[in-house]
Structure 1
Amino acid sequence: MTDTTQDTTHFGFRTVAKEEKATMVAEVFHSVAAKYDIMNDLMSMGIHRVWKRFTIDCSGVRRGQRVLDLGGGTGDLTAKFSRMVGDSGQVILADINNSMLKVGRSKLRDSGIVGNVGYVQANAEELPFPDNYFDCITISFCLRNVTDKEQALRSMYRVLKPGGRLLVLEFSKPILEPLSKIYDAYSFHLLPKIGEIIAHDSESYRYLAESIRMHPDQETLKGMMDDAGFDQTTYYNLTGGIVALHRGYKF
């Protein structure tokens, strides 16, 4: 009997062929790109800005450094990092989804952010950058959509400089049972309805809710980062563990 488990992965709660997932995820984000920012504010009641601010504060990014905002979408973190690294630094906004990248580029350029930001369409599993290139990599609300997370983490490790750090901001597992029940009710009942009203797309937001549940919990992701070579890995639970920020270093 042929073992097919190595050829399949999850797309939300569905099992799909690995080679199909990237295309299916792309369709989701093509659909939601135009309404992505307003949906973020509505879905999180604006708290996503606090989570991202905490990520920035934990980054240790300084003037003149090179930063990769991976899966950076509409560029919230890129905008902050651009100011932090200054004219002598560089920020790369990378995303596998061209629709999201276009929205991010237009948004940043409209804000006057042009000189030290570059844009690259890239797959996290095969980053098109030299070894030991970046001082810091952030991946925000993106890792759960990657087909081979272990390969992506190894790819990020490769392009980090010695002394560099990776920050993974992602939905995680609530640490309080009552909060978990409330969160489930919100995710599976209210969130698709908001998606239908605002983005005219309930199915994409149903997938996003399911993808959160299929993402590794805090300790599992920490172990994956350790296995990829990162040192001093740790995580911070935010909003009761609804979101976690993982951080690891390359030495």
Structure 2
Amino acid sequence: MGNSHKGYTDFGFQDIPECEKNQRVKAVFDRVAPSYDRMNDVLSLGLHRVWKRAAVRCAGVVKGDQVLDLAAGTGDLTQHWMNAVGESGHVYMTDINADMLRVGTDRLLDEGLFRGVTALQVDAEALPFESHQFDCVSVGFGLRNMTHHDKVLSEAYRVLKAGGRLIILEFSQPDHPLIQSLYDFYSFQWVPRLAQWCVEDPESYQYLVESIRRHPRREVLKKRVLSAGFDVCHIHSMSGGIVSIHEGVKF
């Protein structure tokens, strides 16, 4: 999605055939799955928890709602949704990567929290759900790893009920040049080093850093959300623009 060459897409700073991206991304997350939660805490200094709570607040879900969590990974955001919808609601924890989903399922089971949740291996570009089924669809730090954003957004629109919300929580680019410079220095100089020291896998985290730079900027993504059929798209920036929430509303 990050380039204009037909049949090609971005994988970090590389342009690769679209047919290869899912497998390349899968290989990255197969490697990082066991340490994903720990590295999130290390690399974000714990801020990812603040960002996820803010995303749930934006959705305005209530007890009894149905939530579809795409690219749910290890289930961290899923847990927030479970708390929001309560025992009368239901959350579908989905991911295309079986290893990430397994870590998330095991984690919820170990903590005695696996109730009101269904774990499914799902391709976000072709959702196996009925139309108008969910009150909220979320994608937390996962959209940039998907090949066809237009298909993901259209599918999210299809499965949402009238009045439902799409919540996209994703890294973005700071507006202030000084924050951008500091962010780039940390991302390119320190993230790979921390990944080497903590998990001996700098290459996977180099991809994650590069994928953020290739992800569409806030206003571009907003236009794509609206083009998918959403009537309104609000942008909520956090941490100086390092992270943004796109809130698409279906009337």
TM superposition score category, shorter chain reference: over 0.9
Measure the CA separation in 2 of the matches of 1:244 and 1:82. 22
Measure the CA separation in 2 of the matches of 1:83 and 1:246. 21
- Determine the structure 1 residue equivalent to 2:77: 77
Q: CA deviation at 1:85?
A: 1.7
- Determine the structure 2 residue equivalent to 1:194: 194
Alignment of 1:102-113 (within 5 A): 102-113=102-113
Provide the aligned C-alpha RMSD in A: 1.0
1:140 and 2:133 equivalent? no
Q: CA deviation at 1:231?
A: 1.5
Q: CA deviation at 1:76?
A: 1.4
- Determine the structure 1 residue equivalent to 2:115: 115
Q: CA deviation at 1:89?
A: 1.2
- Secondary structure of the residue aligned to 1:192 is helix
- Secondary structure of the residue aligned to 2:6 is helix
Measure the CA separation in 2 of the matches of 1:60 and 1:146. 26
Q: CA deviation at 1:53?
A: 0.9
Kindly provide the CA deviation profile for residues 67-117 of structure 1, in whole angstroms up to 9, marking residues without a partner as x. 011101111121122122222211000001111000100111111112200
Pick which of 4-13 and 186-195 moved more: 4-13
- Secondary structure of the residue aligned to 1:112 is coil
- Determine the structure 2 residue equivalent to 1:167: 167
- Determine the structure 2 residue equivalent to 1:22: 22
Measure the CA separation in 2 of the matches of 1:45 and 1:86. 29
Q: CA deviation at 1:240?
A: 0.6
- Determine the structure 1 residue equivalent to 2:236: 236
Measure the CA separation in 2 of the matches of 1:185 and 1:65. 42
Q: CA deviation at 1:190?
A: 0.7
Q: CA deviation at 1:125?
A: 0.8
**TM-score computed with the length of structure 1 as normaliser:** 0.97
- Secondary structure of the residue aligned to 1:125 is coil
| Structure 1: runs of 5+ lacking an equivalent | none
Measure the CA separation in 2 of the matches of 1:178 and 1:93. 38
Pick which of 70-79 and 170-179 moved more: 70-79
- Determine the structure 2 residue equivalent to 1:46: 46
Pick which of 209-218 and 111-120 moved more: 111-120
1:93 and 2:93 equivalent? yes
- Secondary structure of the residue aligned to 2:125 is helix
Q: Give 2:148's aligned amino acid.
A: D
Q: Give 1:246's aligned amino acid.
A: H
**TM-score computed with the length of structure 2 as normaliser:** 0.97
Q: CA deviation at 1:202?
A: 0.6
1:182 and 2:182 equivalent? yes
1:34 and 2:34 equivalent? yes
Q: Give 2:84's aligned amino acid.
A: M
- Determine the structure 2 residue equivalent to 1:5: 5
Measure the CA separation in 1 of the matches of 2:89 and 2:244. 28
Measure the CA separation in 1 of the matches of 2:168 and 2:83. 21
Q: CA deviation at 1:197?
A: 1.4
Measure the CA separation in 1 of the matches of 2:91 and 2:233. 24
Q: Give 1:13's aligned amino acid.
A: F
Measure the CA separation in 1 of the matches of 2:54 and 2:7. 37
| Structure 2: runs of 5+ lacking an equivalent | none
- Secondary structure of the residue aligned to 2:67 is strand
Measure the CA separation in 2 of the matches of 1:211 and 1:241. 16
Q: Give 1:129's aligned amino acid.
A: F
